[in-house]
Structure 1
Amino acid sequence: MTAQAITTILLAFIAFSLPEPRMYSKQYHDDGTIKAEGWIMGEQKVKYWKFYHENGTIAAEGHYQTNKKSKYWHYYDNQGKLTKEGHYEDGIAQNWWIFYDLARQETRKSQYVDNHLHGFCLVYKNKKLFKVEKYEKNQLKGAWTSIRDFRRDNPDVSLY
């Protein structure tokens, strides 16, 4: 085999084994305002994306991995105020999520497993812990408004 043939084969191998190039994409609402922007590879969303309400304020921002939401995401109302934030794994809500009221005060911190409320939900009122709820697959299993009652019913759970 000649050196030129070997070089051609190696270049072809390298070209086909390289990842597909990423491109920055922008999508628009019917009125011409921006709807979404982020990276695509082929037909799939990858890396960081931003989504916008029709009035132009940010609606959501976060990461994609092969067209599925991943890592940490933030969601906003149409005034641009943060309403919730939390984790995705493979397009599914997981781990802790934080929810806010219009004054951007935390109202809840909730545990999710496979898109379901599953675990504890800490409910806040006037910036103070007001109640703890326990969920299993979106079903409320218990609620406590005193530390004494919570510890009595959940002796294996540490509050600190």
Structure 2
Amino acid sequence: MNFKKQLFLVFCCFSILASAQKKKYHKAYFKNGNLKEEGWFKKDQKNGYWKFYYNNGTLKKEGHFKNNLETKYWYFYRRDASKKKEGHYEKGMQHKWWLFYDDSGNINHKCQLKNNQKNGYCLMYKMKKLVRAEKYHKGKKIKEWTDFKSFRKENNLSDLRQ
């Protein structure tokens, strides 16, 4: 094969590979015409920022994907557009701190999660006031406090920053 043909084949292969790497923006719709989801595909997998909607057009959830798995920080909303919860994902699993909201939009509780389970501290609120603290290990409650003097005494508060 002569040099020109070889160069042409290399160029064709490179072009095919480059086009397979391109990101494509995707939108899907409900039967009523409202947007259902939108986001980026790369190699036929969700990659980048995505938004999902209820059939009434209200935002349901939003966050990042990497290789079809949720990653980074996500937000979830109720049908009335109020916040439901928010938190971190790592490789499709809930990790680190998650905030959960009541119907009034106030934080109801916040918990440390690992592999979609409570693992660490959960702080419970009522009318914006901290009323209880709990500690979990692999989804099972191992301790509860309503007296914050004893909570501070028994725990390393720097663990709350993780």
Please give the TM-score of this superposition, normalised by the length of structure 1: 0.89
Distance 2:36 2:16 in 1: 33
**Aligned partner letter, 1:64:** F
Identity across matched positions, percent: 38
Structure 1: state its 5+ residue gaps: none
Which residue number corresponds to residue 81 of structure 1? 82
**Within the alignment, does 1:52 sit opposite 2:53 as a pair?**
yes
Question: Mapping of 1:73-112 within 5 angstroms?
Answer: 73-112=74-113
**Within the alignment, does 1:14 sit opposite 2:14 as a pair?**
yes
Structure 2: state its 5+ residue gaps: none
Distance 2:30 2:23 in 1: 23
**Aligned partner letter, 2:111:** S
Which residue number corresponds to residue 153 of structure 1? 154
Whichever structure has more helix as a proportion of its residues is: 2
Per-residue CA deviations over 1:110-143 (Å, capped at 9, x if unaligned) read 1011111100011112222221110111111111
Distance 1:93 1:120 in 2: 14
Which residue number corresponds to residue 31 of structure 1? 32
Aligned residue for 1:149, secondary structure, equals: helix
Larger displacement relative to structure 2 (97-106 or 16-25)? 16-25
The structure 1 segments of at least 4 consecutive aligned residues displaced by more than 6 Å after TM superposition are none
Distance 1:131 1:76 in 2: 25
Aligned residue for 1:110, secondary structure, equals: strand
**Aligned partner letter, 2:41:** I
Distance 1:59 1:67 in 2: 18
Larger displacement relative to structure 2 (109-118 or 4-13)? 4-13
Aligned residue for 1:55, secondary structure, equals: coil
Which residue number corresponds to residue 139 of structure 2? 138
The two structures, once aligned, show a CA RMSD in angstroms of 1.9
Per-residue CA deviations over 1:3-49 (Å, capped at 9, x if unaligned) read 42342244134224435222111112232221111111242111111
Aligned residue for 2:118, secondary structure, equals: strand
Number of matched residues?
159
Distance 2:32 2:16 in 1: 40
Give 1:2 shift: 4.5
**Aligned partner letter, 1:79:** D
**Aligned partner letter, 2:123:** L
**Aligned partner letter, 1:48:** Y
Per-residue CA deviations over 1:69-120 (Å, capped at 9, x if unaligned) read 1111100000011110001111111111011112211111110111111000
